[in-house]
Structure 1
Amino acid sequence: MKALFGELSAVASHRGWPRAPVNAGTWRGIGEALREGKLDLLGEWGDAAAVHCALFEPATRKLQIATHEAGSGAAPSLAVFHPPALRLERAIADLFAIEMVGLPDRRPWLDHGRWPDPAPLAQQRAAATPAATGATPPARAIERPPYRFLPAEGPGLHQIPVGPVHAGIIEPGHFRFTASGETVVRLEERLGYTHKGIERLMAGQDLEPASRIAARLSGDSTVACSWAFVQAVEGALDFRPPPRAVWLRGVMAELERIANHLGDIGAI
């Protein structure tokens, strides 16, 4: 981490974990460090003019956020070096219309050709949702060509499609099994059927309605999602909650965790 960020200046206005703007060379160095296992990728996301990644260095247990500008509509891909970044960068391309240069797989991830507004977060328009403005969305979405699943190549291979609606799946998802007899040699997933557009719903909201949205992200994880949201708010405001609040959050989170475990055991 020190070799990559030692001489870079952190953004003074960014509270919480340190964030530093980086150039293409440092971004490539991050990718190489991820490939070599020196860093862990905690997340990668975009905004209207940049791509960000959160990094963890196991050797020093330090966290760092890096930002690469994408003002021209493009940014280098980390997935070239680190395959776990692949879906994250496909989502960035769908939501922000940012070209991830070198991205090995350019198929859409979240955009299933049903969105009336392609790249809905490209301009971060805070009040652009129909719920906020009363506007009527376009009647037709932008049509996309059929999704290209990876082909079955090789003697004796066949494909078994499952989903997106199937009794054995908790939420919708299409799973394409490539099998040789009874041996599954590859599984390809296509998700995003129930993408809720939370980022756009959150944009421009006051804290109270935003907290209600966070609490409704997942019905069985209300405490966990609310806690994550309030930590982001407290970090942005540089606010430290009283110890009693932290203890109450911990107790509620444990009760929620136990309830989820009991529910899973009951479903066996």
Structure 2
Amino acid sequence: MRTVVSAGEWRHAARALAAGEAELFGLWASTGEVHMALRDPAAGLRILSVPVSEDRFPSVGRHHAAAQRLERAIGDLYGYTAEGAADDRPWLDHGRWGVRHPLGEAEAAGPGEPYAFLPVKGESLHRVLVGPVHAGVIEPGHFRFTVQGETVVRLEQRLGYTHKGVEGLMRGATLARAAGLAGRVSGDSTVAYAWAFAQAVEAALGVAVPERALWLRLVM
């Protein structure tokens, strides 16, 4: 169930998340709106949508830290600003797309500014840099450890190096094409993403899959 709410109702839901009265399942944008999927014991899974006013919407991350990266992604993709956000740094946009806000009012852009990692103060601090290129099959990611002896004082992550614009490519795609795109979201989680997409389509269309398909998914 999706409900369009006011800015005040949106903030109330964000505070409910902070109080542990609900769980955040997702935070994303579309043209002119920002959407939040949450689950609470009384109402189950709900989707709230708040209209964007002058490219701004009330920050959820201000109250619930788990929403901060999702808000930063919305800012990169759509150009919408989360009012009152604790962190407004870029997340997906590394300044190499050649365009800003590709899903919103896109505009040409040059190289971005160096990423502003959070400062760490103290004595005898040492930084250990890992990635973004790794030896295995995991997705590229940069991890910056600041340590004091064996104590990790701060760990900062930088992801988005292989952002493929799947959300934009999904628009208007056939189910077969969309299923292939879903399977390419993450190289080490192909089955998980493809399975989740299949279940979403089946639920939306009210389709019951054959028993053989369920067994094939189990094998995968």
* 2:104 matched residue in structure 1: 122
Pair 241,187 (structure 1): closer, same or farther in 2 beyond 3 Å: same
In structure 2, list runs of 5 or more residues that go unmatched.
none
Is 1:21 the counterpart of 2:4? The answer is yes
What residue identity is the alignment partner of 1:48?
Answer: T
TM-score of the two chains, using structure 1 as the length reference: 0.75
Contact residue 172 and residue 194 of structure 1 kept, 8 A: yes
* 1:247 matched residue in structure 2: 211
Question: In structure 2, what is the Cα distance between the partners aligned to 1:220 and 1:179?
Answer: 29
Question: In structure 1, what is the Cα distance between the partners aligned to 2:133 and 2:217?
Answer: 31
Pair 163,220 (structure 1): closer, same or farther in 2 beyond 3 Å: closer
Aligned length: 219
Offset of 1:235 from its aligned partner? Answer: 4.2
Offset of 1:161 from its aligned partner? Answer: 1.7
Pair 253,215 (structure 1): closer, same or farther in 2 beyond 3 Å: same
Question: In structure 1, what is the Cα distance between the partners aligned to 2:125 and 2:183?
Answer: 45
* 1:70 matched residue in structure 2: 52
Contact residue 29 and residue 35 of structure 2 kept, 8 A: yes
Question: In structure 1, what is the Cα distance between the partners aligned to 2:150 and 2:13?
Answer: 40
TM-score of the two chains, using structure 2 as the length reference: 0.90
Question: In structure 2, what is the Cα distance between the partners aligned to 1:187 and 1:223?
Answer: 29
What residue identity is the alignment partner of 1:188?
Answer: E
Is 1:160 the counterpart of 2:128? The answer is yes
Contact residue 146 and residue 155 of structure 2 kept, 8 A: yes
* 2:89 matched residue in structure 1: 107
* 1:10 matched residue in structure 2: none
What residue identity is the alignment partner of 2:3?
Answer: A
1:108-257 pair list within 5 angstroms: 108-123=90-105, 141-167=109-135, 170-219=138-187, 221-236=189-204, 239-242=205-208, 245=209, 247-256=211-220
Bigger radius of gyration: 1
* 1:38 matched residue in structure 2: 21
Question: In structure 1, what is the Cα distance between the partners aligned to 2:126 and 2:57?
Answer: 37
Residues 95-138 of structure 1 show CA distances to partners (whole Å, capped at 9, x for unaligned) of: 010011111111100000001221111159xxxxxxxxxxxxx8
* 1:3 matched residue in structure 2: none
* 1:92 matched residue in structure 2: 74
Question: In structure 2, what is the Cα distance between the partners aligned to 1:146 and 1:218?
Answer: 26
Pair 216,165 (structure 1): closer, same or farther in 2 beyond 3 Å: closer
Pair 194,219 (structure 1): closer, same or farther in 2 beyond 3 Å: closer
Offset of 1:240 from its aligned partner? Answer: 2.0
Offset of 1:221 from its aligned partner? Answer: 4.1
Which runs of structure 1 show a deviation greater than 6 angstroms over 4 or more consecutive aligned residues? none
Write 1 or 2 for the structure with the bigger share of strand: 2
Question: In structure 2, what is the Cα distance between the partners aligned to 1:94 and 1:241?
Answer: 35
Offset of 1:205 from its aligned partner? Answer: 1.6
Pair 104,84 (structure 1): closer, same or farther in 2 beyond 3 Å: same
Question: In structure 2, what is the Cα distance between the partners aligned to 1:35 and 1:219?
Answer: 33
Contact residue 152 and residue 158 of structure 1 kept, 8 A: no
Question: In structure 2, what is the Cα distance between the partners aligned to 1:102 and 1:247?
Answer: 49
In structure 1, list runs of 5 or more residues that go unmatched.
1-17, 125-137, 257-268
What residue identity is the alignment partner of 1:151?
Answer: P
